[in-house]
Amino acid sequence: MDGSIARPRPLLALAVRLATAAVLATMGMLVKLAGERGAHLLELIFWRQALTVVAVGGLLAVWGRLSTVRTQRIGAHARRAAYGITGMMFVYGAVMLLPLPEATAISFTAPFFAVMISVLLFGEKVGLYRWGAVALGFAGVIVITSPGFGLAEGSAIDPWGAGVGLIAAFLVALISFQVQDLNTTESPWSIVFWFSAITAPLMALALPFVSSAHDAGTWGIILAMALCGALAQILLTTSLRFGSAAVILLMDYTSLLWATFYGWQVFGRAAPASLWIGAPLIIAAGALIAWRERQLARSRARPVAVSERRFS
């Protein structure tokens, strides 16, 4: 890969993003499985970040592209790392506390928080479409977390876990604005590399206090989880290289199918009726936001194109 802007290849981008959703769902399953076998949250995050540094750094070295991680904005990378590692703790925490499909569905609320952040922090004007999508999405969350929507007795969602999941989604949305800012001057590889390179040593400091002996099977799960995390970062970067984020992000919703499958096959828990009612509301709301963002982007671009033609 060179540093030039890649030619748009939408079908390739969609295929890569579908693979990304599957890998991320698999990583979530492995995080939950490792947690049930005694692995600590901070221990898992360390291995996830450490292996990403090795994988990304190794790939760039093979491609002769290590220079792409050079940066003049290490402070911005450090701030992104601080928010990112906090967000990762909540994301992994939600997976450990909640059934996998429900944790995945709640994570889809990130676009709704992004809308609210854009209003509160940046003064962006948001119209009826996007506010309606936010309301619809959170209605889906209420359905999923409410014991009155088809949940079997004794299987109500842990309110603490739901809260952790919503905080995780909020932090993911907040981080997206930081990454958007970094993207103006940094390569995607630089952003991925520095996030992992800064946070892995910090997590290493916690290892003496949280790590414990594991059997070979648990170490295999931890290694597979870390590999999935590194692969997901690479696939995410590749998908955004070849396609529009507003379109390919819709493929992320397929991770719910994988999460439901893993919840059933690995953890022996069939998805409750509340998930099948609430998740479509969240997905429809996210799709509406993505569609509206694309429409707004086109309307903003049109006057610029007209102006360029007029003076050319």
Q: What's the pLDDT tens digit per position in 56-114?
A: 888 889 988 888 888 888 999 999 999 999 999 999 999 999 888 888 888 888 877 87
- What is the pLDDT, as a whole number, of residue 38? 92
Whole-angstrom distance, CA of residue 213 vs CA of residue 37: 11
Positions of the chain with pLDDT lower than 70, given as ranges: 1-10, 126, 145-156, 240-241, 243-250, 293-294, 296-298, 300-312
Percent of the chain surpassing pLDDT 90: 30
How does 17-26 read in b/e, with b if 16+ C-beta sit within 10 Å? bbbbbbbbbb
Q: If residue 35 lies in a helix (H) or strand (E), which one and from where to where? A: helix 10-36
- The tokens 């109500």 sit on which residue? 156
Q: If residue 216 lies in a helix (H) or strand (E), which one and from where to where? A: helix 216-242
Predicted model pTM: 0.79
Whole-angstrom distance, CA of residue 118 vs CA of residue 137: 17
Q: What angle do CA 171, 176, 178 make, to 5 degrees?
A: 100
Tokens matching residue 230:
């590194």
Helix boundaries (H) for the chain:
10-36, 41-63, 74-97, 100-107, 110-120, 128-145, 159-182, 188-210, 216-242, 245-248, 255-265, 273-310
Q: Are the C-beta atoms of residues 39 and 30 closer than 8 Å to each other?
A: no
- What is the pLDDT, as a whole number, of residue 1? 43
- What is the pLDDT, as a whole number, of residue 270? 76
Give the start-end residues of each E strand in the chain.
Answer: none
Q: Are the C-beta atoms of residues 184 and 125 closer than 8 Å to each other?
A: no
- What is the pLDDT, as a whole number, of residue 138? 77
Whole-angstrom distance, CA of residue 186 vs CA of residue 179: 9
- What is the pLDDT, as a whole number, of residue 295? 72
Q: From residue 168, give the alpha-carbon distance in Å to each of 108, 112, 155, 275.
A: 10, 13, 22, 19
- What is the pLDDT, as a whole number, of residue 281? 81
- What is the pLDDT, as a whole number, of residue 77? 93
Name residues whose C-beta falls within 8 Å of residue 201's C-beta, 6 or more positions apart in sequence. none
Whole-angstrom distance, CA of residue 169 vs CA of residue 177: 13
Q: Are the C-beta atoms of residues 29 and 98 closer than 8 Å to each other?
A: no
- What is the pLDDT, as a whole number, of residue 240? 67
Whole-angstrom distance, CA of residue 184 vs CA of residue 292: 23
